[in-house]
Amino acid sequence: MSALSERPANPVVGQEIPHEAASLHVTGEALYTDDLAVRTHGILHAHPVQAPHAHARITRLDPSPALEVPGVVRVLTAEDVPGVNDAGVKHDEPLFPSEVMFFGHAVCWVLGETLEAARLGSLAVEVDYEPLPSLVTVHEAIEAGSFQGGQPHMERGDIEAGFAGAAHVYSGEFEFAGQEHFYLETHCSIALVDENGQIFVQSSTQHPTETQDIVAHVLGLPSHAVTVQCLRMGGGFGGKEMQPHGYAAIAALGSTLTGRPVRLRLNRTQDMTMSGKRHGFHAQWRVAFDDTGRLQALDATLTSDGGWSLDLSEPVLARALCHIDNAYWIPNVRVNGRIAKTHKTSQTAFRGFGGPQGMLVIEDILGRCAPQLGIDPIELRSRNFYVDGQSTPYGQPVRHPERVAICWEQVLTTGDVATRKADIAAYNASHEHSKRALAMTPVKFGISFNFTSFNQAGALVHVYKDGSVLITHGGTEMGQGLHTKMLQVAATTLGVPLSTVRLAPTRTDKVPNTSATAASSGADLNGGAVKDACEQIIERLRAVAAGRLGVHPADVRFSDGHVGKVGGGATVPWADLVNQAYFQRIQLWAAGFYRTEGLHWDSSAMHGSPFKYFSYGVAASEVEVDEFTGAYRLRQVDIVHDVGDSLSPLVDIGQVEGAFVQGAGWLTLEDLRWDESDRPSRGRLATQAASTYKLPSFSEMPEVFNVALLERAHEDGAVYGSKAVGEPPLMLAFSVREALREAAAAFGPAGTSVDLASPATPEAVFWAVQEARGGAEPPHMTAMVEGAPGVVPDQPGADAAPLRPRSEQAAQPARAGT
Amino acid sequence: MREAGKGAGAEPREDDVPDLATLSGAGLVSGLRKGDAVTVQSRTTPAVSFTLNGAPIEVAVEAGVSLLDLLRERLDLTGTKKGCNQGACGVCTVLVDGRRVLGCLTLVAQLDAREVTTIEGVGTPEQPHDLQRAFIGADGFQCGYCTSGQICSALGMLRELADGVPSAVAEHVAAQPGSSELEMRERMSGNLCRCGAYNGIVDAIAAYADAAGGHR
Do A619 and A363 contact (CB within 8 A), yes or no? no
Please provide residue A383's backbone torsions phi and psi, each rounded to the nearest 5 degrees: -65, -25
> A53: closest CA among B60, B147, B8, B151?
B8
Handedness of CA A311, A315, A317, A319 (dihedral sign): negative
For residue B48, the distance in angstroms to the closest alpha carbon of chain A comes to: 22
Which candidate in A180, A210, A670, A727 is catalytic? A727
Q: Is B73 on the interface with A (CB under 8 A)?
A: yes
What is the SS3 assignment for B139? coil
What is the SS3 assignment for B188? helix
Residue B29 confidence (pLDDT) above 50: no
Place A808 in a pLDDT band, splitting at 50, 70 and 90: low
Q: What is the pLDDT of residue B36?
A: 57
**Percent of chain B residues past pLDDT 90, beyond the cut:** 67
**Percent of chain A residues past pLDDT 90, beyond the cut:** 94
For residue B163, the distance in angstroms to the closest alpha carbon of chain A comes to: 22
CB contact under 8 A, A127 and B3: yes
The average pLDDT across A744-748 equals: 98
Do B92 and B81 contact (CB within 8 A), yes or no? yes
Which run of H or of E encompasses A372?
A: helix A355-373
Cα A547 to chain centroid distance, Å, stands at 49
Query: pLDDT tens digits, residue range A65-94?
Result: 999 999 999 999 999 999 999 999 889 999
Do A127 and A107 contact (CB within 8 A), yes or no? yes
Query: pLDDT tens digits, residue range A498-553?
Result: 999 999 999 999 999 999 999 999 999 999 999 999 999 999 999 999 999 999 99
Q: What is the pLDDT of residue B26?
A: 29
Residue B18 confidence (pLDDT) above 50: no
Residue A812 confidence (pLDDT) above 80: no
Residue A451 confidence (pLDDT) above 90: no
ipTM entry: 0.96
Cα A395 to chain centroid distance, Å, stands at 24
For residue A223, the distance in angstroms to the closest alpha carbon of chain B comes to: 29
Beta bridge mates, A620: A440, A638
Place A273 in a pLDDT band, splitting at 50, 70 and 90: very high
> B146: closest CA among A202, A234, A586?
A234
Handedness of CA A534, A536, A539, A541 (dihedral sign): negative
> A540: closest CA among A459, A473, A483, A461?
A461
Query: pLDDT tens digits, residue range A678-693?
Result: 999 999 999 999 999 9
- How many CB pairs below 8 Å do chains A and B form together? 246
Alpha-carbon distance A503 to A512, whole Å? 17
The average pLDDT across A3-31 equals: 96
Task: Supply the mean pLDDT for chain B.
Answer: 84
DSSP code, position B70: I
Q: What are the helix (H) ranges across A37-80?
A: 64-67
Place B172 in a pLDDT band, splitting at 50, 70 and 90: confident
CB contact under 8 A, B185 and A701: yes
> A205: closest CA among A214, A218, A194?
A214
CB contact under 8 A, A184 and B146: yes
Residue B23 confidence (pLDDT) above 60: no
For residue B55, the distance in angstroms to the closest alpha carbon of chain A comes to: 18
Complete domains list, chain A, with CATH: 22-30+456-595 (3.30.365.10), 36-133+181-274 (3.30.365.10)
The residues near A33 (Cβ < 8 Å, ≥ 6 apart) are A185, A188, A189, A190, A202, A203, A204, A230, A231, A233, A265
| Alpha-carbon distance values, A488 to A15, A493, A717 (Å) | 8, 9, 18
Query: pLDDT tens digits, residue range A558-574?
Result: 999 999 999 888 999 99
Residue A321 confidence (pLDDT) above 50: yes
Residue B30 confidence (pLDDT) above 70: no
DSSP code, position B14: P
Q: Is A122 on the interface with B (CB under 8 A)?
A: yes
Q: Is B127 on the interface with A (CB under 8 A)?
A: no
> A233: closest CA among A182, A181, A185, A180?
A185
Alpha-carbon distance A193 to A195, whole Å? 7
Residue A221 confidence (pLDDT) above 50: yes
Nearest to B3 among A129, A480, A705 (CB): A129
Handedness of CA B122, B128, B129, B132 (dihedral sign): positive
HEC secondary structure over A122-171: HHHCEEEEEECCCCCCHHHHHHHCCEECCCCEEEECCHHHHHHCCCEEEE
CB contact under 8 A, B5 and A49: yes
Q: What is the pLDDT of residue B5?
A: 40
Residue B213 confidence (pLDDT) above 80: no
Query: pLDDT tens digits, residue range A607-641?
Result: 999 999 999 999 999 999 999 999 999 999 999 99
CB contact under 8 A, A19 and B139: yes
Beta bridge mates, A487: none
Please report the DSSP string for A541-554 in residue order: HHHHHHHHHTS-GG
Place A450 in a pLDDT band, splitting at 50, 70 and 90: confident
The answer to which of A140-149, A785-794, B9-18 has the lowest mean pLDDT is B9-18
Alpha-carbon distance A59 to A67, whole Å? 20
The answer to which of B86-90, B105-109, B179-183, B195-199 has the lowest mean pLDDT is B179-183
The average pLDDT across B16-25 equals: 36
Residue B112 confidence (pLDDT) above 60: yes
Query: pLDDT tens digits, residue range A163-192?
Result: 998 999 999 999 999 999 999 999 999 999
CB contact under 8 A, A39 and B30: yes
The average pLDDT across A392-409 equals: 98
The average pLDDT across A428-456 equals: 96
Q: What are the helix (H) ranges across A393-476?
A: 402-414, 417-430
Pairing of strands A281-289, A501-503: unpaired
Task: Supply the mean pLDDT for chain A.
Answer: 96
Complete domains list, chain B, with CATH: 1-42 (no CATH), 44-122 (3.10.20.30), 123-216 (1.10.150.120)
Alpha-carbon distance A399 to A98, whole Å? 50
Place A814 in a pLDDT band, splitting at 50, 70 and 90: very low
Handedness of CA A439, A376, A616, A279 (dihedral sign): negative
**Percent of chain A residues past pLDDT 70, beyond the cut:** 98
Alpha-carbon distance A291 to A394, whole Å? 26
Minimal Cα distance from B204: which residue of A?
A26
| Active-site annotation holds for A727 | yes
Residue A599 confidence (pLDDT) above 80: yes
Q: What is the pLDDT of residue B41?
A: 52
Place B10 in a pLDDT band, splitting at 50, 70 and 90: very low
Q: What is the pLDDT of residue A810?
A: 40
Residue A383 confidence (pLDDT) above 90: yes
Reported residue count of chain B is: 216
Chain A residues with CB under 8 Å of B192 CB are 184, 690, 695, 697
- Upper half-sphere CA count for residue A609 (Cβ side, 13 Å): 12
CB contact under 8 A, B145 and A122: no
Residue A157 confidence (pLDDT) above 60: yes
The average pLDDT across A209-223 equals: 98
Residue A222 confidence (pLDDT) above 60: yes
The residues near B16 (Cβ < 8 Å, ≥ 6 apart) are A114, A115, A116, B65, B69, B72, B73, B74
